[in-house]
A = this chain, B = another copy of it.
Amino acid sequence: MVEKGPIKFSVKSLKGSGISLEDIEIAIGRLAMEEEWEPMGPTPMPKITTLREWDMKLLKRYRPFYMPFCDLCCLCTYGKCDLTAGKRGACGLDIGAQQGRIVLIACAIGASTHTSHARHLVDHLIEKYGENWPIDLGSDIYVEMPISRLITGIKPKTLGDLSYILKYVEEQIVQTLAAAHTGQEGSYLDFESKSLHLGMLDHLAMEVADVAQIITYNFPKGKPDAPLTEVGMGLADTTKPVILCIGHNVSSGVEIIDFMKKNGLGRPGETIEVLGLCCTAHDLTRYDEQAKIVGPISHQIRFIRSGAADVLILDEQCIHIMVLSEAQRVKTPVIATSDKACHGLPDMTNKPVEEIVDALVSGKYPGVLILDLEKAGAVAVLTALRIAPIRKKFKSLPDKADLKKVAEKCTKCGRCRRNCPIDLPTDEAVFAARQGNFDKLAELYDYCLGCARCESECPRDIPIHSLIVSAAELKIKTERYKIRVGRGPILDTEIREVGSPIVFGEIPGVVAYVGCANYPEGGRDVAIMAEEFLRRRFIVTVSGCSAMSIAMYRTEEGKTLYEEYSGAFDAGGLVNVGSCVANAHIAGAAIKIANIFARRPLRANYEEIADYVLNRVGACGVAWGAMSQKAASIATGFNRLGVPVIVGPQGAKYRRLYLGRREDRESFTVYDARTGDRVWVGPAPEHLVYVAETREEAIVMTAKLCLRPNDTTKGRMIKLTHYVELYKKYYRRLPDDLHMFIRTEADIPITFKGEIMEYLKEVGWEPWEKPVVDPTLLERLIRVKK
C-alpha cells in the first residue's frame, strides 16, 4: 500500500559512500532512463512556462475565439459575477479570461482523468507484473513511446519508468490547475498557454496508459492486420449468461476473461458472453477478439434496458449515472470497481467472493463496490452464471404493441425536445405514436444519444428514449457489424514508408476521427466522412466511439468500411488504434514522422517537433461528437503539437476555438530556415480548432486543413485537387481562397487547370517569389543567419 520512497538521487551523494555508481545502476535500474540514447534536448519535463513562447507563437496566429456558454461566474462566494461584455468580477476577471479559465479547468479534469486512469493501470500492472516488466512493442517499433521521449527526455524501459513519468504529469497538472484559483492568472493568453500545457500532459498520460496495457496484456502491437470483431446491439447470444463491462479501464474486464479461462469456462462467447460498452469495449477486444462491442456511449441505457446483461461491471469514465437504477429495474446486479466511481455502493472489497455473489444473486444488494480487480472478476463471472437462469432477461423496454398506449399520455408540451441535447423532435414523434405512427420514433433511433434527459423532463413520465428504442426493434435486432480490433501504435516501418509521401504531400493527409458520440445528426455522418477520405486515399485513423460509429454503416457493397479498407497506416488505410487513450498513437505517429523520417532530434525537443508537425505533417483531427472534458484536453494537446482539430456544432459549447485569419498575411509569415527570410506561406493550416456547422463543411475544411507550407509541388497539386473537388462538390464553385495556396503554376490541379487559371487571372494572382521554403516559426532553427 505504501509506496516506498522515490529517491532524489544524486551522484554526489553516492561519492564516498563506498558504493560504485555502476553497482547502483544495476541494482536500481531507474537510472537506465538517463542513458544517453540521444543528447538531451532543450525542454525535458517542461514546466508551465517552459513552452510559453511556443504557445504565444501559436496564439498569435490562431487567436482564441470565445463563445461564452454562460455570462456569469459562480466559482467563488463573491459571485455570481456578471461578466457580460467586459464587466469585471469581484476578483477583477473579465469574460475572456473567464472563458480561458473554464477551458483550463475542463482540460485539467480531462488530463486528470487520463492520468488517473494511467496511474491505476500502471500501479495495478506493476503489482501483477513487477516494475521491471519491459516496454517491448515488438521488433517493428523501435521508438516505442514517442510522446514520452519528446516531452520528458526519458526513454522508458520498464513499467516502473512509466510510474515515474506519471509523477511528473501529476505534479504539473496540480500546478496548472492552481492557476484557476480566484486571484491567480489574469490573462486569457496565459490561461490558454496553460490549457495547451495540460493538453500536452494529457497525451503523455494517454501514451503511458495505452503502452502499459499493450505490453502486459499483450494487445496487438501495432498490427496492421488486427482481427475483425463484432459491434452492435444485436450480437449478444442471450441464451448464455451475459456480462457487460462499461467504461474505460479494461483491467477489470481482463480479470473476468482470465478467471473464465482459468476455470474452464473458455474464451468469451463460448460459455459466457463478455461484452463491452464505450472504450473498455475496444480494449476487451484487444485482449481477446472474442469479446464483443455493444457500441458507443449512446447504447448504454438502451442495452441495459434490453435486459440482456446478467451482470454489469463498471470501471471508470463514460458511465451513465443512471446505470445503477436502470440495472435495478431489470434486476441486473452491478459491480463498481473504481475508487473514482463508487456510486454510493457498499465496499465489499474485503469480503469473501462467495458472500458477495450470494448478496448479489439474492438481491440483498443491487450493487457492490469491489476494489480488488481479481475478486471483482471472479464475482462477476460467478454471479453471471448463477443469476442468468433466474433473471430471464427481464427487460424494461415497452413491447412494440404497447407503444401507442404509452404514448397516449403525451400532451405535446415540447419539454422533451427542448431539453434534448441535440434538439430531436421527440414531441412530434411521441405524438405521432399516439396516433399509431411509429416511424418518426424509429427514425430517431439513429440520432438519439441515449441520454434519457427527455424522460426526466417529461411531465407525463413517458419513457421517451425507450419508445424510440422499441420502435426501432427491427433495426436493433439486426444491428451487427464488423470492426477491426484496435491495433495500437503505428509501426516504425510504416512511418518509414509513408513519412515522405505525407510530408511532401503525396499522401494528401492523415485524418483522425476520434472521440465521443455527441453527434448533431447521428454517427452515420462520421462514417460518410471517413469513407470520403478513404476513397481519396488519405490515411484515416480512428478511435473510441467514433471507431464504433464508423463500423455501424455499410457501403454500397453492403460491407463495413473495416471490411473494405485495410488496417495499415498507409494511403487508403482505415486504422483503428483502439480506445481513447490509444489516441496517443495518432499524435505519436506525427512525432515519429518528424523523428524517424525527418531525423529531427526527439529527446526533450518539443518546440522543434511541434514546429515540424505544424509546417509539414498534413494531419487533421475530427472529433465530430466531442462532448467531454477529456475530448477538450485531447484536442488541445493535438493543437500544441501543431495538429488542427475540427469539432461538430455541439463543440461550440466548449467555448473556445483557435482561429486563423487567412487575410492576415503577417500571421502566416514564417522563417525560411535556409535563409532566415520572413516568407508568407499562405494560410496553412488555417485554423487550430474549428467548429464546422455541417458534415459538408467539415469535409471541405478537413481537406483544406491538411495543406502544409512544406508541400512539394506535386503534393500541393494532389492536396489541392482534393480540396477543389470537394469544394466544388459541396459548394459548386472554386474556393475563394484558392489563390492563397497556389504558389506556382505547377501547384495547380491538372483536372481544373483552365478554370483555375482563369480564376487566378481574375484575382490578380502572381507566382510566388519563394515558392517552396523550409518553413519554421523558430528563429533558432535558421541555419544561415543574414
CB of A451 within 8 A of CB of B320, answer no
Chain B minimum-CB-distance residue to A11: B4
CB of A23 within 8 A of CB of B29, answer no
The answer to whether A730 has its CB under 8 Å from any CB of chain B is no
The answer to whether A178 has its CB under 8 Å from any CB of chain B is yes
Chain B minimum-CB-distance residue to A346: B56
Chain B minimum-CB-distance residue to A456: B88
CB of B88 within 8 A of CB of A321, answer yes
The answer to whether A629 has its CB under 8 Å from any CB of chain B is yes
CB of A321 within 8 A of CB of B5, answer no
The answer to whether A13 has its CB under 8 Å from any CB of chain B is yes
Interface residues of A in 2-38 (CB under 8 A from B): 2-10, 13-14, 17-19, 23-24, 26-31, 33-34
Q: How many angstroms between the C-alpha atoms of A10 and B2 in the bound complex?
A: 12
Residues 527-548 of chain A: 1 if any B CB is under 8 Å from the residue's CB, otherwise 0?
Answer: 0000000000000000000000
CB of B186 within 8 A of CB of A321, answer yes
Q: How many angstroms between the C-alpha atoms of A420 and B70 in the bound complex?
A: 20
The answer to whether A521 has its CB under 8 Å from any CB of chain B is no
The answer to whether A343 has its CB under 8 Å from any CB of chain B is yes
CB of B339 within 8 A of CB of A184, answer no
Cβ–Cβ < 8 Å partners of A275 in chain B: none
Binds B, one of A103-111, A605-613, A681-689: A103-111
Chain B minimum-CB-distance residue to A32: B5
A653 to B: closest C-beta gap in Å:
4
The answer to whether A424 has its CB under 8 Å from any CB of chain B is no
The answer to whether A167 has its CB under 8 Å from any CB of chain B is yes
Task: Name which of A48, A72, A190 has the most chain B CB atoms within 10 A of its CB.
Answer: A190
Chain B minimum-CB-distance residue to A188: B344
A251 to B: closest C-beta gap in Å:
15
A22 to B: closest C-beta gap in Å:
11
CB of A187 within 8 A of CB of B342, answer yes
Q: How many angstroms between the C-alpha atoms of A556 and B184 in the bound complex?
A: 39
CB of A627 within 8 A of CB of B170, answer no
Given that A131-B8, A342-B187, A342-B190 are known contacts, is A317 also in contact with B181, CB under 8 Å in the complex? Answer: yes
CB of B52 within 8 A of CB of A342, answer yes
The answer to whether A594 has its CB under 8 Å from any CB of chain B is no
Q: How many angstroms between the C-alpha atoms of A80 and B48 in the bound complex?
A: 31
Binds B, one of A114-122, A403-411, A490-498, A571-579: A114-122
CB of A109 within 8 A of CB of B74, answer no
Q: How many angstroms between the C-alpha atoms of A158 and B528 in the bound complex?
A: 61
CB of A180 within 8 A of CB of B78, answer no
Residues 42-86 of chain A: 1 if any B CB is under 8 Å from the residue's CB, otherwise 0?
Answer: 001101110011000000000000000110101111111110001
CB of B5 within 8 A of CB of A324, answer no
Q: How many angstroms between the C-alpha atoms of A733 and B589 in the bound complex?
A: 77
**Number of identical monomers bound together in the oligomeric complex:** 2
CB of B190 within 8 A of CB of A344, answer yes
CB of B181 within 8 A of CB of A6, answer no
Cβ–Cβ < 8 Å partners of A109 in chain B: 105, 177-178, 180-181
CB of A339 within 8 A of CB of B174, answer no
CB of B113 within 8 A of CB of A184, answer yes
The answer to whether A92 has its CB under 8 Å from any CB of chain B is yes
CB of A5 within 8 A of CB of B27, answer no
The answer to whether A171 has its CB under 8 Å from any CB of chain B is yes
CB of B186 within 8 A of CB of A2, answer no
The answer to whether A667 has its CB under 8 Å from any CB of chain B is no
CB of B342 within 8 A of CB of A518, answer no
Cβ–Cβ < 8 Å partners of A166 in chain B: 171
Cβ–Cβ < 8 Å partners of A76 in chain B: 627-629, 653
CB of A449 within 8 A of CB of B49, answer no
A17 to B: closest C-beta gap in Å:
4
CB of A81 within 8 A of CB of B453, answer yes
CB of B171 within 8 A of CB of A52, answer no
Cβ–Cβ < 8 Å partners of A29 in chain B: 7, 13
A201 to B: closest C-beta gap in Å:
10
Chain B minimum-CB-distance residue to A80: B69
Cβ–Cβ < 8 Å partners of A179 in chain B: 340-341
Interface residues of A in 155-214 (CB under 8 A from B): 160, 163-164, 166-171, 173-190, 193
Given that A7-B7, A339-B49 are known contacts, is A628 also in contact with B183, CB under 8 Å in the complex? Answer: yes
Given that A28-B9, A170-B167 are known contacts, is A49 also in contact with B342, CB under 8 Å in the complex? Answer: yes
The answer to whether A706 has its CB under 8 Å from any CB of chain B is no
CB of B1 within 8 A of CB of A13, answer no
CB of B8 within 8 A of CB of A182, answer no
The answer to whether A457 has its CB under 8 Å from any CB of chain B is yes
A120 to B: closest C-beta gap in Å:
8
Task: Name which of A34, A110, A163, A175 has the most chain B CB atoms within 10 A of its CB.
Answer: A175
CB of B106 within 8 A of CB of A183, answer no
Given that A6-B167, A167-B167 are known contacts, is A174 also in contact with B175, CB under 8 Å in the complex? Answer: no
CB of B518 within 8 A of CB of A77, answer yes
Which 4 A-B pairs give the minimum distances between C-beta atoms?
A: A6-B6, A92-B321, A187-B344, A90-B451
14 contacts between A and B (CB under 8 A): A1-B45, A13-B132, A81-B453, A112-B178, A116-B174, A116-B178, A120-B175, A170-B170, A173-B173, A178-B316, A181-B630, A182-B318, A186-B343, A193-B342
A5-B31, A49-B339, A75-B629 known; 14 other A-B pairs, CB under 8 Å?
A5-B164, A8-B160, A13-B27, A17-B27, A19-B27, A70-B74, A88-B322, A89-B321, A91-B451, A105-B109, A167-B171, A178-B316, A182-B628, A184-B317
